[in-house]
Structure 1
Amino acid sequence: MIRRTTEQWLALFDQHKASGLTQTEFAKQQGIDPAYFSYRKRQLLAWQQEDDTGFVELTTQGVILNQSIMLKKRDVELHLPPGTDALWLAALLRTL
């Protein structure tokens, strides 16, 4: 089995859409199990839609947040208290 990056999978989904073939026909033509193709499509497109919900950019340095913040991704929630340093939060988000 060929290991593909997310970008490669998304490109395959675009190629399938432009091909005019059924998903099964396209997957077989590419040497991919149709069930796995379908699984990756559902998985990656769902993930992509969740990520399109927005992002707040923190650009000011040295700011102390004066309100509590809740970060939520799928079923995980992170509650940050007032007084959380914005630089620390930015570093945390970069590592995620």
Structure 2
Amino acid sequence: MLRRTSEQWLALFDQHKSSGLTQTEFAKQHGIDPSYFSLRKRQLLAWQQDDNHGFVELTPNGILFCQPMVLKKRDVQLHLPAGTDAVWLATLLKAMSL
């Protein structure tokens, strides 16, 4: 199976929208199982929608967080201890967004 990035999937969804084909027809023409196409569409659009809420830009300057933190995204939780470096956290969040 061909691995696609999130950006490639979103481009495919745009192509489907302008194609005039049903989702099933479009998926089959591109060699994608229609059920998987539907699943990826739901997942990525849900994640994209979630990303528009709840995060703010972090501009760290060598700050250490004094309190333990829990970052939550859907069903994933990341527990960070007190003393976590803000620069490290910003680097982690940036890497996760790619």
Normalising by structure 1, report the TM-score: 0.72
Tell me the CA shift for residue 72 of structure 1. Answer: 0.9
8 Å Cα contact 2:60/2:90 also seen in 1: no
Partner of 2:70, secondary structure, is strand
Q: Structure 2 vs 1, CA of residues 44 and 82 (structure 1 numbering), >3 Å: closer, same or farther?
A: same
Please, which runs of 5 or more residues in structure 2 have no aligned partner? none
Distance in 2, Cα, partners of 1:51 & 1:90: 16
**Aligned-partner Cα distance in 2 for 1:52–1:90:** 18
- Report the equivalent of 2:6: 6
Query: Cα–Cα, structure 1 residues 46 and 63, in superposed 2: closer, same or farther, change >3 Å?
Result: same
1:42 maps to a residue whose letter is R
Q: Return closer, same or farther for 1:82/1:38 CA change in 2, 3 Å cut-off.
A: same
What SS does structure 1 have at the residue aligned with 2:72? strand
Q: Name the count of aligned residue pairs.
A: 96
Aligned-pair RMSD on alpha carbons? 2.5
Query: Aligned letter for 1:30?
Result: H
SS in 2 for 1:28: helix
1:31-69 CA-partner distances (Å, limit 9, x unpaired): 222112112211222222222224222224133445554
The list of structure 1 runs, each at least 4 consecutive aligned residues, that deviate by more than 4 angstroms after superposition, is 79-84
Q: Which is higher, the Rg of structure 1 or of structure 2? A: 1
Q: Which residue in the other structure is 2:58 paired with? A: 58
Counterparts in 2 of 1:5-84, with a 5 A limit?
5-65=5-65, 69-80=69-80, 84=84
Task: Percent identity, please.
Answer: 74
